[in-house]
Chain A
Amino acid sequence: MRKPFDIKRYPGFFPITCLCLFLLYTPLIVVMVYSFNDSNSITNWGGMSLRWYEEVFYGVESQKFKKAAFNSLSIAICAAITATTLAVCAAMAMLRTGVFRGQTLSFALINLPLMVPEIVTAVATLVFFSAIGFKTGYASILIAHIVFCIPFAYLPIAARMQSVDATYEQAAQDLYATRFEAFRLVLLPLILPGVISGFLLAFIISLDDFIITNFVKGAGIETLPTAIFGSVKQGIKPSIMAISTLLLLLSVVFVTLSYFVGRKGQQTP
């Protein structure tokens, strides 16, 4: 029997999609699998073992990595909270205050961190900090992270806010709510899924960053990516694969979380 004519179907597109997923996933899966390799040589398979995970948590370098992980996580949380707060304010300014002078410019400014190549941002920030005599370290990393997290937090928040009709806040005001109450009792609950997505996005982006951190961190402080990069420069070690696997799982958990938050939000617009 002939297949019914389907206007949306293009032969070959399905295999290409599979190829696409294959290319995206193979390296990750291979690293995950090899992180359980018992052999000392990273290329030969020597059976299953958790020894590299043990090394990550208790080995000689474990202190260094724990410290780096703490820095990464605490910076990511602080940067994401700050960036999300700024992004909520910015989204209200762009979408809920009518037209004001400099609005278009403000929109460009919010998105500027996405437009300037990361490497340029990195060296510019470094040069700037050294010019104003700001000591590089934890604070400089945090500031740099806040800057480039803003647009990532802004996108889902603004998208959500745009889909929430301004009439809801007007209805609240009509019912004697002040502007702040209209925000707190109506707008904020309605954009909450967007705010959470924005926060998670900013969190992952901060956790992810290598290039900018690598430049502005200065000596004596590491985040997970810079610590990993430092190790890899001397060759890929199995413990690095174990750390990578852990980070990978963390990212996947976060994305899954933000995916479900987003979906739940869509059901009650």
Chain B
Amino acid sequence: MNTAVEIENVTKRYGDVVALSSVSLAIEDNEFFTLLGPSGCGKTTLLRSIAGFEQLSQGDIKLFGDSIVDLPPNKRPVNTVFQHYALFPHLTVADNVGFGLQRQRLPSHEIASRVADILEMVQLGSYADRLPSMLSGGQQQRVALARALAPRPRLLLLDEPLSALDLKLRQDVRVELQQIQHDTGITFIFVTHDQEEALTMSDRIAVMSEGVLQQVGTPRQIYEAPDNRFVADFIGDTNLIDVQVTQVLDQCATCVLPGGASIACNNMAGASVGAGHLSVRPERVTLGPVDGSALQGEVSRLTYLGTDIHVTVALSDGGKMDVRVQNSDSAAIPQPGSTIGLYLDIAAARLLVD
């Protein structure tokens, strides 16, 4: 496969604030790549650096092998769908979509036909002469997409394009976006702080925190084999149990749980003897009798979630564990206040160093 974008050691500082700290990343051609992280972690900054709106403090960005850091934004074959769309309010939908084509000095009949085609593709053919302020949020979002796609860029950057839409619409647009990416074959870099969005849409995800790249991988890798505590905690719900690693042998670590029970764990992100953390998803813990269980505690709270029941258990050493029990099995649902044993699915528990 071909590498579309290579981000090499990119650092961006705003005075004392480090928005990006030595980020290195390679994005393949035709990939739907997502940057995921909490707000303020530097996703927009990275995107704007690729688009050309930020001067890097350090590092290099290559597009299909050529460095682009010295090119102004209007010379980069990259288009952006802006966070709040930035549709030109004084131009009609058609003029907005044709803006980039006009700047490329295409003949006017070709501009007209390409604008018409792309508006058809996003199902806005009959809105060509409207002003953006006369469109709904979802329609504006599609105009922004059409405008960015019209010049046929080699790389499309999308900065939280769905965050302004309501839930139902967002789910429809997710599918549409994936379809468009598939049909056009353009590499997408998609920014979001919504982990569900990232998991469902992406080929690969890069998780960021405070300007630092935490992990890059497929949605499945990110969810099931997080590299560190931040990723485990940020993607989905998890229980992080402080454990003491007493021995590491052949990819198998012996961990001592707070209660003193010892378990063997071979799912790990590099472990060494000493303090560690065991990440167990709530759905991978089962409740059972106290005798023979790895951990014990008192049920402190039940939360009704519809399909599931969320059980919070206060451990005897002061910690707490979240457990998800399917609502179908009413016998398995404990009473608040009762003492109960917790059984971990060792295969799904991941040992993390930090």
Contacts and interface: CB of A to CB of B under 8 A. Distances in A.
A177 B72 CA distance: 10
Interface in A185-212: 185-186, 189-190
B147 A268 contact: no
B79 interface: yes
A61 interface: no
A170 B90 contact: no
Contacts of B9: none
Interface in B60-105: 72-75, 78-80, 82-84, 86-90, 99-100, 103-104
B152 to A, nearest CB: 12
Contacts of A268: 89-90, 131, 133
Given A167-B82, A167-B84, A175 B99 contact: yes
B42 interface: no
B104 to A, nearest CB: 6
Interface residues of A, number: 20
A176 B89 CA distance: 18
A266 to B, nearest CB: 12
A109 interface: no
B351 interface: no
Contacts of B104: 176
A180 to B, nearest CB: 11
B230 interface: no
A175 B103 contact: yes
Given A170-B86, A268-B133, A176 B53 contact: no
A130 interface: no
A190 B90 contact: yes
Given A167-B82, A171-B80, A171-B82, A177 B89 contact: no
A94 interface: no
Interface in A151-190: 165, 167-168, 170-179, 181, 185-186, 189-190
Nearest to B147: A175
Contacts of A168: 86, 88-89
Nearest to A267: B133
A269 interface: yes
B103 A181 contact: yes
A64 to B, nearest CB: 46
A167 B86 contact: yes
A176 B104 CA distance: 7
Nearest to A186: B88
Contacts of B131: 268
A168 B268 CA distance: 47
B88 A173 contact: no
A218 B83 CA distance: 58
Query: Nearest 4 A-B pairs (CB), nearest first?
Result: A175-B100, A176-B103, A171-B86, A167-B86
Interface of A: 165, 167-168, 170-179, 181, 185-186, 189-190, 268-269
14 contacts: A167-B82, A170-B51, A171-B80, A171-B82, A171-B88, A174-B78, A174-B80, A174-B100, A175-B103, A176-B75, A176-B100, A176-B104, A177-B103, A269-B89
